[in-house]
Structure 1
Amino acid sequence: MSTETLNHVVTELSPAERQRKAELLSTLVEHIDITSFDARPIIDGMSKMSFTSRDLARATAIYNQMLQDPDCTIFLVIAGSTSAGGCMDLYAELVRNNMVDGIVATGASIVDMDFFEGLGHKHYQALEVPDDDTLRSLLIDRIYDTYIDEEALQQTDHTIGEIANTLEPRGYSSREFIREMGKYLVEHGKKDNSLVKLAYEHDVPIFCPAFVDSSAGFGLVKHQVDRAKAGQPYMMLDAIADFRELTEIKIKAGTTGLLMIGGGVPKNFIQDTVVCAEILGHHDVEVHKYAVQITVADVRDGACSSSTLQEAASWGKVNTGIEQMVFAEAGSVMPLLASDAYHRGHWKTRAKRAWGKLFA
């Protein structure tokens, strides 16, 4: 979106509307700090309970097994809005402390949430929810009980377009483009604890198989339209390169573990690397040895988010022996799992994989 269009949007609101918008965007979402509390006693206690508590304790134990296994590459897989809801610093801490080696996520998690805050924008608690038409008139977007300033989001779209404008006109995997976003945040960002920025600094590759299903899409469309009007070539995203690169990591990594929040495309994408490796002739490729999925989806939604890890074993994707489904809202349980793993400290002796250097 051009600067002229952004300025037009900014001047649309009257002083009274500006004041009302400021009232609604007055309470920040504060992201939880897993280093500030020790969840080990809670998880230990939950292991002696039943139902979801025991499932969470077992999932946490499996994640700790991944961290302890010297041969295991760990993928963090994110779908949904937990980043906007308060888990953003949690995910960043996993990267900072070498607790994950690769990330597969939705474009919204990476662009609309993390990169957005990396540029200095914020998410807000919706302490009241007027009708959504009113929110639209005030240029406020809503995710459940969380608000996003649409004007700030459009500035993010514009920044994505600016990054694209600096690149050689050719095909890029989402990993390659997100690395450019991380580089941009190192130079221009306003937040140290950004997942995109830290992943760039630690050579942790981030893949978004549906990257344009986010604010990145608007900025990249504008980049292509502007370049086409000027008779100039433009950059493109190569979804096949995404699949090829991620499969290449899987082949070279050998033993792998999955920590999955939600489901959908990111979940299928990382699981399918096993099948893709076999198609490429690597019949000795290991299924994902460890797998944890935290989700509220069940079979009633009829979608890939509800397919269990046991079901994935029938496709030759995961090991049925070391897996755990946790049916819970991830924002309520991930802080406990991550804090437990952080304070047990198995990450302190892990070798750094730096899979991003594979494509340097």
Structure 2
Amino acid sequence: MKSKSDFLAEEIAHIDIKQHNVVPLVEAMSIMAFSARELGRAAQIYDAMLRDRDCTIILCLAGSLFSAGLKNVVVDLVRHNMVDAIVSTGAIIVDQDFFEGLGFKHYRGEIAADDDQLRRLAIDRIYDTYIDEDQLRICDSTCAELADRLELRPYSSREFVREMGRHLQENAKNRDSVVLAAFEKNVPIFVPAFSDCSAGFGLIHHQWHHPDGHVSIDSAKDFLELTKIKIESKVSGLLMIGGGVPKNFAQDTVVAADYLGFDIGMHKYAVQLTVADVRDGALSSSTLKEANSWGKVDQGAEQMVFIEATIGFPLIAGYAWHKGAWKNRSAREFSRMLDARESEPVGRRSAAPSK
């Protein structure tokens, strides 16, 4: 019978977009048909976001992306000023990125594995990928310890993730971390469903042992902070990998700002990669043209690409990196703004709410 170490033997490798100039390939695909042409156009739209000096770029992440080998794609986007804010699921940011920052790994597995045997060995399976449950518990405990050290008050998820970045700055065993890179570049990371991940276990442990005073996560503050970024931005663009809560959370900032009385435009640019089926009416599959009816996404520079992220994301990100528009972009450092101006009014307020 295989041992735990036998299962956890082959590490997932993170692709390096800098090593593969995909520009000729993507440009050739852009004059083909079907998904190839859609992907080519999506890459061109992302490049246009980077060339637009007024554009704030919000990256939305959903799905098991970093465990699959896409972590360093986002690390490079953050380090090279190719993204100004991130909205993500908790699993990606905590269970996958922060987890690896602590020195742990994801491993290549098999979809036909004996899941009962994996459970008995404390190995969790993500399709064809393995993760050590015992190491995840260390990640849980680290989040609890972070909460124990913080001032006892409500935090936005951005504020808590920033403290995770501060922890990695001092203690990281793997510095190729989105949480760490975002901390160093002052790129805010929002996790709207923050308790739905390893941090959630840490926070309930913290609150269980501190019933009379504890750290909590203020989801409304999350929404307000991201809306402030939209208000401060002359133009905005969305690069959405997957769908779910991050997609809608970022899109809704347009409606939120309008409701608060700010005269701003819709997201000018929008790209989404998804494999969801549009016929079920679900959020993940709702088209960007549909979002226009809600007043969230403008028409003309939007593109849906129905493709799995491990294929599509490196091509789009690699295309944009090698085109080089990022070299002329400056860092927005929205985390500094949010920390310094938390209680101040921002942006351009209209006379009254429009609805």
TM-score (norm 2): 0.94
Which of 206, 218, 235 is equivalent to 1:238? 218
Which residue in the other structure is 1:330 paired with?
A: 309
Structure ranking higher in helix proportion: 1
SS in 2 for 1:64: helix
Which residue in the other structure is 1:269 paired with?
A: 249
Matched, 1:76 2:63: no
SS in 2 for 1:256: strand
Off by >3 Å, runs of 4+ in structure 1: none
How far has the Cα of 1:352 moved from its partner? 1.4
Which of 12, 15, 21 is equivalent to 1:38? 21
Paired residue type of 1:56: L
How far has the Cα of 1:336 moved from its partner? 1.0
Which residue in the other structure is 1:3 paired with?
A: none
How far has the Cα of 1:111 moved from its partner? 0.3
Deviations along 1:157-203, one digit per CA (max 9) or x if unpaired, are 00000000010100000000000000000001111210000000000
Let me know the Cα RMSD of the aligned residues: 1.0
SS in 2 for 1:70: coil
Deviations along 1:136-159, one digit per CA (max 9) or x if unpaired, are 111001111011100000000000
How far has the Cα of 1:351 moved from its partner? 1.9
Matched, 1:138 2:117: no
Paired residue type of 1:350: R
Which of 262, 284, 288 is equivalent to 2:267? 288
CA contact (8 A) 1:77 1:103 kept: yes
Distance across 2 between alignment mates of 1:334 and 1:50: 19
Distance across 2 between alignment mates of 1:86 and 1:301: 29
CA contact (8 A) 2:111 2:127 kept: no
Distance across 1 between alignment mates of 2:119 and 2:254: 44
Distance across 2 between alignment mates of 1:167 and 1:255: 35
SS in 2 for 1:335: helix
Which residue in the other structure is 2:77 paired with?
A: 94
CA contact (8 A) 2:55 2:235 kept: yes
Matched, 1:205 2:188: yes
Distance across 2 between alignment mates of 1:127 and 1:303: 30
Which of 240, 252, 271 is equivalent to 2:232? 252
Which residue in the other structure is 1:4 paired with?
A: none
Which residue in the other structure is 2:46 paired with?
A: 63
Deviations along 1:52-107, one digit per CA (max 9) or x if unpaired, are 00000000000000000000000110000111101000011100100000000000
How far has the Cα of 1:127 moved from its partner? 4.0
In the alignment, structure 2 segments of 5+ residues that lack a partner are 340-355
In the alignment, structure 1 segments of 5+ residues that lack a partner are 1-15
How far has the Cα of 1:301 moved from its partner? 3.9
Distance across 2 between alignment mates of 1:116 and 1:203: 20
How far has the Cα of 1:254 moved from its partner? 2.3
How far has the Cα of 1:128 moved from its partner? 6.3
Distance across 2 between alignment mates of 1:286 and 1:160: 38
CA contact (8 A) 2:266 2:295 kept: yes
Distance across 2 between alignment mates of 1:150 and 1:301: 34
CA contact (8 A) 1:24 1:128 kept: no
TM-score (norm 1): 0.93
CA contact (8 A) 1:85 1:146 kept: yes
CA contact (8 A) 2:223 2:253 kept: yes
Which residue in the other structure is 2:202 paired with?
A: 219
SS in 1 for 2:3: helix
Equivalences for residues 163-178 of structure 1 within 5 A: 163-178=146-161
CA contact (8 A) 2:11 2:105 kept: yes
Q: How many residues align?
A: 339
